[in-house]
Amino acid sequence: MAGKKTAGPSPEQSREMIEFRDSGIHGMGGFARCEIKRGEKLIEYVGEKITKAEAALRIEADNRFIFTLDDETDVDGDVEWNPARFLNHSCEPNAVAEIIRGRIWVRALRRIRPGEEITYNYSYGFDGHEEHPCLCGSGKCVGYMVAEEFFPKVRRKRRKQAMAKA
Ligand SMILES: C[S@@+](CC[C@H](N)C(=O)[O-])C[C@H]1O[C@@H](n2cnc3c(N)ncnc32)[C@H](O)[C@@H]1O
Ligand SMILES: [Zn+2]
């Protein structure tokens, strides 16, 4: 609509802010090309909107790009027009993925310097966390890609396992 305020950067503007290349965390990652201000929207996570049932089938078939949109719908970001699919998880992220008016935006949590890898917490649940080991390398890494609310639970479990082995 003419004159309508854009909700965030266009795909072209996102490409100007983020370079996608090999990451030390895993596979490809996204890296800041310029200084990014705290709170700035960086990129939209786009893809195919699918039902929960369809998402479950695709996850079963090893799709790692499913993003929960709401109680009924997920987004399958495994499409070539979604470069945000390359952003990796970190236990100490510099960005966050937020749902704003039905769209998924990755936004800076703090100032990000050129060359820094842009990461967010994938916010996975506790159940089955052992299937998602984390290699983020941050000092706060809990060893698994889980939401921050589960960090204490994962740490307790790991302590117990270490004590049982000793
Ligand atoms: C949305 S993709 C991210 C892009 C991925 N680097 C790639 O090249 O396809 C999600 C997958 O990347 C991997 N990944 C992302 N962050 C990770 C991390 N902190 N530790 C280990 N693997 C990670 C996991 O295999 C995860 O299922
Ligand atoms: Zn980690």
User: Per-residue pLDDT tens for 81-109?
Assistant: 999 999 999 999 999 999 999 999 999 99
Among the four given CATH numbers 1.10.1840.10, 3.40.640.10, 3.40.50.1010, 2.170.270.10, the one describing domain 11-46+81-165 = 2.170.270.10
Q: What is the pLDDT of residues 40-82, one digit of tens each?
A: 999 999 999 999 999 999 999 999 999 999 999 999 999 999 9
Find where tokens 């060893």 sit.
143
Name the helix (H) or strand (E) containing 84.
none
Q: What is the pLDDT of residues 118-150, one digit of tens each?
A: 999 999 999 999 999 999 999 999 999 999 999
Structural contact between residues 58 and 40, judged by C-beta atoms closer than 8 angstroms: no
User: What pTM, to 2 d.p., does this model score?
Assistant: 0.93
Centroid of ligand 1 to alpha carbon of 9 (angstroms): 24
List the residue whose alpha carbon is closest to atom 27 of ligand 1: 64
Ligand 2 is a single-atom ion; what residues have CB below 5 A from it? 91, 134, 136, 141
Structural contact between residues 45 and 106, judged by C-beta atoms closer than 8 angstroms: yes
Phi first, then psi, for residue 93 (nearest 5°) are -75, 160
